[in-house]
Structure 1
Amino acid sequence: MAKRKKFNPAVKVAAGAAFDARGNPKPRLTNAILKALDVQRPLVLANLNRYRRKFPEASPAELAARLEKDYLAAVTTGGATVGAFAIVPGAGTIATLGLSAAATVGFLEATALYAQSIAELHGVQTAEPERAQAMVMAIIMGDEGAAMIKEFAGQAGGRGGLGRTWGSLVGESMPSGLVGVLVESLRKRFLKKLLARQGTALLGRAVPFGIGAVIGGAGNRVMGRRVIATTRQAFGEAPLVLPMALVEDLARTQNRLPARFMPLPGRARARRRAAGQYALEEKGQTGPEQPGPDGNPGGRDGA
């Protein structure tokens, strides 16, 4: 006789921290997930400016390739890091699930920033939050999301949209009133699909003895690759040159990315600066900030 798998009651308790008795996400988790998709355009422009400073001669296709590489590295490392936390003695399953939920939100933030950056490279502006959120949700949903956007575009009498990429359809040509209806429909299916896909990963990263590190890193990498493939389908090939409207907007903005959106080395530098400043304040020795590699106070190199 096959042995019955032993049920771990801690997993049930952990799931209860984020899901109700019917298995639906609690409002706090739902709000955090949806808020993670609202990456505002100034952050997107700051992200693209950072890449242009680092690679001033890069073409849009080369910038897109670098965005893909950094995005995949960021989401993979984020999943593995949270999974590895389950190894730490005393890290309870409930606490780990909380970190796993945070990792899911981090995955969504990184995906929103990446997808909207790619959209801007293709001349699709992300200034309208509803349009931007619809694009990001559809990209994460994959084929189902693309089909919904095409269906809604068809309802708008979108014969004129034939031949256009579906990313530009929702980002530019779809009527605003229809976008609102689309977003509501996408949100319902998106949450169901996300939690069906991430739900096992949320608990998987909470499995002790380091198994979560494998599930978290590998799972996020698979999802990251799917996002990249769908984003390519959504917008098609990159243009030969940057859209003039984007170039003008990039020239006007001086925004810097917050530390949570930086690549891993940049986040490490930000944490070290914050820790050093805190130590000085504790000793009452707050001194002048030291210039960073680019000459900015506090070493804010934006990378």
Structure 2
Amino acid sequence: MSAARRAIGTTGPGREQAGGTEESMLERLLDRAVRRSKGHQVALELRRKNPHAAPAELVRLLERRYLRRAALLGGGVGAAATVPAVGTGTAAVLTTGQVASFLISSATFAMAVATVHGVEVDDVERRRTLLAASLLGEEGAEMVTGQVGLGTLYWARTVLTKLPIARIRAVNKMLTRRLVRFGFARGGALVLGRLVPFGVGAVIGYVGTRGMGQNVVDGVHEAFGPPPARFTAELERAR
């Protein structure tokens, strides 16, 4: 068997079936996250609280808000594992819930930045494209642009508003498969260090999810590019 086949884990029917199950689970998690995201409302609220902020400043505020929440989410689960009455069994359950919470926070951040850029992402399939690609960071941007034949990494406006829905679904399938290998469906990337005893898990959890959050921030930047010079009319009125 080639090293490439070993790397992606295609080692027989059993593995393929497991991969299909993980993809289905991840699709449900992504769909739930984008349905529950409140990015548009968050952008409007932050604009009202910071009436003198320029678009670039508002994006930085959104980034700090998101990274803080991601880091605290990871640290909280790690801390739970250090409490004798809780233990690693409950912490593992909390970690499963944390995957969902992390995805919702990531979707909210990505949709909020889309609002600042004036990109409306109404349907679930297109929202999932933005979330899945952002979770993969720069790699996600490269996968999307390669799939649809774009010559720029700032792909979101074209893909999310003009690409036919059939192409969007094909892109989503590709991104979901990559995310499964990346470890999201099993919680692999999120579990790192959470169940380490004596308080170390809390530290690793905090740093680990903040690092994953930074990957999402990078992915969103690759999707939209630099912030616009001016706000949309809706955000201008919200001040």
- TM range, normalised to the smaller chain? 0.7 to 0.9
**Are 1:180 and 2:169 an aligned pair?**
yes
Q: Could you list the per-position Cα deviations for residues 122-178 of structure 1 after superposition, in whole angstroms to 9, with x for gaps in the alignment?
A: 121111211111011011112332122112222xxxxxx545721223212222221
> 2:154·2:222 contact (CA, 8 Å) conserved in 1?
yes
Aligned residues: 222
Which structure: greater helix fraction? Answer: 2
Residue 226 (structure 1) aligns with: 215
What displacement does 1:213 show?
0.5
> 2:95·2:191 contact (CA, 8 Å) conserved in 1?
yes
- Alignment TM-score, normalising by the size of structure 2: 0.81
> 1:38·1:129 contact (CA, 8 Å) conserved in 2?
yes
Q: Which runs of 5+ in 1 are unaligned?
A: 1-20, 155-160, 252-303
Quote the Cα distance in structure 1 between the aligned partners of 2:198 and 2:89. 15
Q: Which runs of 5+ in 2 are unaligned?
A: 1-16
Residue 34 (structure 1) aligns with: 30
**Pair 1:224–1:55, CA change in 2 (3 A):** same
**Pair 1:131–1:35, CA change in 2 (3 A):** closer
Q: Secondary structure at the match of 1:240?
A: coil
Quote the Cα distance in structure 2 between the aligned partners of 1:167 and 1:80. 32
Q: How does 1:7-22 map to 2 (within 5 A)?
A: none
Q: Secondary structure at the match of 2:184?
A: helix
Residue 57 (structure 1) aligns with: 52
Q: Could you list the per-position Cα deviations for residues 186-242 of structure 1 after superposition, in whole angstroms to 9, with x for gaps in the alignment?
A: 222222214389515415212222221022101011111122122222211111111
Higher relative contact order (CA 8 A, sep 6+): 2
Residue 268 (structure 1) aligns with: none
Note the aligned Cα RMSD (angstroms): 2.8
**Could you tell me which amino acid in structure 1 is paired with residue 173 of structure 2?**
E
Q: State the identity as a percent.
A: 33
> 2:43·2:113 contact (CA, 8 Å) conserved in 1?
no
Residue 122 (structure 1) aligns with: 117
Residue 132 (structure 1) aligns with: 127
Q: Secondary structure at the match of 1:37?
A: helix
**Are 1:75 and 2:70 an aligned pair?**
yes
